[in-house]
Structure formats: structure tokens, C-alpha cells
Amino acid sequence: MIRRFLTNFFQGRNGFDNIARAAWWVLLVFLLLSLIPGWFGFVCEFVVLALTVYIWWRVCSKNIYKRSRENAKYLELTAAFRTKFRDFKTRFSMRKDYKFFTCPTCHSILRVPRGKGKVQITCTKCGNRFSGKT
Ligand SMILES: [Zn+2]
């Protein structure tokens, strides 16, 4: 019954997209900040309220075409940042076995096994050579 209602309700609606998810995280941050006593917390409460309305409006919007274009634009604008974040996560998970160097010439990231002492690193992209401590 509830399931059917929800399915019908979200039929033809935008749903929880990437922007809604990002807004949700921002909302959680402001929710924590709103615990601060005084005018600052008060302002944060309003931000939480505004974001709640915005997320609902987005999720329930029937103008899917427009919303998905906004979502695509959002993904495009944040692509560089999201790639950086993903790279950071991968590097963090491999930090015990590898050390990462940035090529001074082309700025590409190079992975070198740890514990080899001082080594000569040759960039795989541009062929530049530099030394580093692993
Ligand atoms: Zn290079």
C-alpha cells in the first residue's frame, strides 16, 4: 500500500539526484552548526529550513527535463573536484605501500613503491627525471 503510493508519487518526478544529495550533506552540516547558541545558530536553522524546502521541491519536481539539465551542469562544474577527491581516496588507501610524487614539469601524479630510499623518478608522461625519497 505505502510502497504503491510511493511508486505512484515518484512516477514522473525528478527524485533524489546528485544536487539533492549534495544539498542534503550541506543541510546536515548546517544542522550541526544550528546547535551553536546565539544568532549564528539561528541563521543556520533558517538555512536548514530553506534547504529542506529546496530538496523537497527538487525531488518532487515534475519538470524532469529542466532538473536533469541542472544536474548535468552541476556534475560538469564539480567534475574536477570529484576526480580530485576520488584520486585522494585512492592514494589514501594505498599510502602504506606507495608514495606519490607530482611531476614538476607536467604535474601528473606518479606512484612509487615505498621503502626504496632516495630514487630517480622518470615521469611516464613527459619523460622528465627528478629525485625523491620514498
Ligand atoms: Zn611529467
**Confidence tier at 1 by pLDDT (50, 70, 90):** confident
The Cα 79–Cα 59 span in angstroms is: 22
Segments making up each domain of the chain, as ranges:
1-86, 94-134
Quote the pLDDT of residue 2.
Answer: 85
Residue 120 Cα, ligand 1 centroid: separation in angstroms?
13
- Residues whose CB is less than 8 angstroms from the CB of residue 102 and which lie 6 or more positions away in sequence, other chains included: 108, 109, 110
Residue 97 Cα, ligand 1 centroid: separation in angstroms?
22
Q: How confident is the model over 73-107, as pLDDT tens digits? A: 999 999 999 999 999 999 999 999 999 999 999 99
**What is the reported pTM?**
0.69
